[in-house]
Amino acid sequence: MMEANPYPRGRRDRRDGLRKRACRIGFALLSMVLAACGSDPQESVEFEVGTGSWRFEALSDGDSVELIRGAQGGWHIWMAARTSDLRDGDLVRFFVGPADGELSGTELNASFDPPRSDGFRHYVGWTGFVNDAACAVGTLYRLRAALVRNGEEIAASERDVMVDPGADPPAPCLVSE
């Protein structure tokens, strides 16, 4: 159980995982990394965070995502992920929170659907809890997911989305002084 995001934030669209990060370092290092990429199949992992309860819906920064109210009164955003490479023992970390604040997250052994015709496997229906739903409406929230293999994030993806009140909006935000 992750209580807070222990990972640096602000990196955009890391679907290419380590390779993309490594490629920013420098030419010499890049060469080494690319060489390594060629011999390590993990480097080709494509991984993307999205939304959806029953099917994966891709997101772009700035898209709207609806708040969902659960019967017990909690609020969540549907989160989803897809990947081109999933192996036994792989875990997924889901994080959600204000784009300019702390993310809270959970690590789980996610039950991905079988591979689709494009080779991707989808995981849908994760309930990303929204702590202060009323005040989250109309603000940017960050949805982040990471694929964890052997204890390390080998790929990650995040989107900053606008929180939509949805069909069943929460009470207005009361901001205390």
Rule CB under 8 A: which residues touch other proteins? 1, 3, 53-55, 68-75, 78, 104, 106, 108-114, 124-127, 129-132, 168
> Which CB sits closer to other proteins, 1 or 28?
1
CB of 55 to other proteins, least distance (A): 6
CB of 13 to other proteins, least distance (A): 25
> Which CB sits closer to other proteins, 33 or 141?
141
Which long-range contacts link 9-13 to residues 24+ away (Cβ below 8 Å)? 9/103, 9/142, 9/144, 9/158, 11/156, 11/158, 12/61, 12/158, 13/157, 13/158
Using DSSP bridges, classify how beta strands 75-83 and 47-51 pair: parallel, antiparallel or unpaired: antiparallel
> Which CB sits closer to other proteins, 28 or 167?
167
> Which CB sits closer to other proteins, 30 or 108?
108
> Which CB sits closer to other proteins, 61 or 165?
165
CB of 116 to other proteins, least distance (A): 8
Look at residue 42 and give its three-state secondary structure. helix
CB of 131 to other proteins, least distance (A): 5
Look at residue 82 and give its three-state secondary structure. strand
CB of 126 to other proteins, least distance (A): 7
- If you write DSSP's letter for every residue of 86-142 in order, what string do you get? --TT-EEEEEEEETTS--EEEEE---PPPP-TTS-EEEEEEEEE-TTHHHHTTSEEE
Residue type, 150: N
Q: What is the DSSP letter of 21?
A: H
